[in-house]
A = this chain, B = another copy of it.
Amino acid sequence: MDAVTCTAPVNIAVIKYWGKRDEALILPINSSLSATLSQEQLCAKTTVAVSGQFTRDRMWLNGKEESLENPRYQNVLREIRRRARKRKIAGEGKGTSLSDALSWHVHICSVNNFPTAAGLASSAAGFSCLVYSLAKLFRIEGDISEIARQGSGSACRSLYGGFVSWNMGEKDDGTDSVAEQLVTENHWPELQILILVVSDQKKHIGSSAGMGVSVKTSELLRYRAEHIVPRRMKEIETAIQNKDFQTFAKITMQDSNQLHASCLDTYPPIIYLNDTSKQIMHLVHKYNDFCGEIKVAYTFDAGPNACLYLLEEDVAGVLAMVNHCFPPIEQNGDQYIRGLQVEELPIQKDLKESLGFTPLSPGALKYIIHTKVGAGPQVLPSTECLLDENGLPKDAHS
């Protein structure tokens, strides 16, 4: 059995991907840009293995066997094997086990180091990790973001650390619709992230189904993709290169709001933000007004959770406000604020008065994750392998 184990990060877009121009190849109607989050707090970990003993392709996700029939998995496996075969034909695979590996079945075992129930976009990390691991196993070189994209669009952005753009491309075959690193994780070390995990009853429409309806019915989405995003991409790239937080933060909020505006303009409308999400938005604007400049920016994906971008020096102050407005609920041993450590402060008295906000009852937020911008996927030593010598999960509940 040949096996490779890797981890891959979550990414949070500041210019949002919403809408495909090609459903099969997952080609977007606009370019997008995201920060890669540190894998200390959030990552997917995947082992891929091949063996002549395996009788079929199998996969276990978070301890549970899942079907590989989903076309997204089939596309990824087919593309990986096609690229490996190309290398073999070119002679590069000679004398290695690649010839064998190509005829063998694959076993995949993947776990997240965060609860999937949190509603954090885990498919980007998962597909990125799967493709990265398979590429290592089959010794594929060159751009693999095109393969990850065919698993889950935004997965291509999780293949690099720092800030990453996904260029929409122009070609029909998608070969120019690839991810590209804008700056590494060391470029803007002061930038940190707070993820406010919002309590929510509602089952939301998935982003893939949602964007399909939006593309069909929202004229505002089409206008956004064609006329607004291209300019915003340039502006935010410059802002990130210059570490210009004011511009970065404003565009981030505007683009999140425009994504959700496009969702509301969809017929029937799609609504991901709930009253708690709206209160977070309101508080962020109030806090920035109070400070006289933008200190913190929110962004929301296809759910009610808020992701806040802010500089390290402002984390304690913002957390004090969040703690005041959204008091923690009794946890059974779990911490309310998880991840990077920061001094716990009470809310500033004059800020509290300026907000005029009646704290919600405990439980509006489930918990908070404090993290920063991080690196791309990593290869782990074989001791971290998730599969045993028979290619079965070592711990069905790991």
By a beta-carbon cutoff of 8 Å, the part of chain A in contact with chain B is 219-220, 223-224, 227-228, 250, 253-254, 257-258, 260-262, 264-269, 271, 274-275, 278, 281, 285
Chain B's nearest CB lies how many Å from the CB of A188? 23
Given A219-B228, A223-B220, residue A264 in contact with residue B268 (CB < 8 A): no
Chain B's nearest CB lies how many Å from the CB of A233? 15
User: Within the oligomer, what is the number of copies of this chain?
Assistant: 2
18 contacts between A and B (CB under 8 A): A219-B228, A220-B220, A220-B261, A220-B265, A250-B267, A253-B267, A253-B268, A254-B265, A254-B267, A257-B264, A257-B265, A257-B269, A258-B264, A258-B265, A268-B285, A271-B278, A274-B275, A274-B278
Chain B's nearest CB lies how many Å from the CB of A282? 8
Prevailing SS type, chain A contact patch: helix
In the assembled complex, which residues on chain B have CB atoms less than 8 Å from the CB atom of A265? 220, 254, 257-258, 261
In the assembled complex, which residues on chain B have CB atoms less than 8 Å from the CB atom of A220? 220, 223-224, 258, 261, 265
Task: Give the 8 A-B residue pairs with the shortest CB-CB distance, closest first.
Answer: A261-B261, A261-B265, A261-B264, A268-B285, A275-B275, A220-B220, A223-B223, A257-B269
Using CB atoms, name the residue of chain B closest to A288.
Answer: B268
Contact, CB under 8 Å: B268 / A260: no
In the assembled complex, which residues on chain B have CB atoms less than 8 Å from the CB atom of A254? 265, 267
Given A223-B223, A264-B261, residue A269 in contact with residue B250 (CB < 8 A): no
Chain B's nearest CB lies how many Å from the CB of A228? 6
- A254, A260, A268 pick with most chain B CB within 10 angstroms: A268
In the assembled complex, which residues on chain B have CB atoms less than 8 Å from the CB atom of A267? 250, 253-254, 257
In the assembled complex, which residues on chain B have CB atoms less than 8 Å from the CB atom of A257? 264-267, 269
In the assembled complex, which residues on chain B have CB atoms less than 8 Å from the CB atom of A275? 274-275
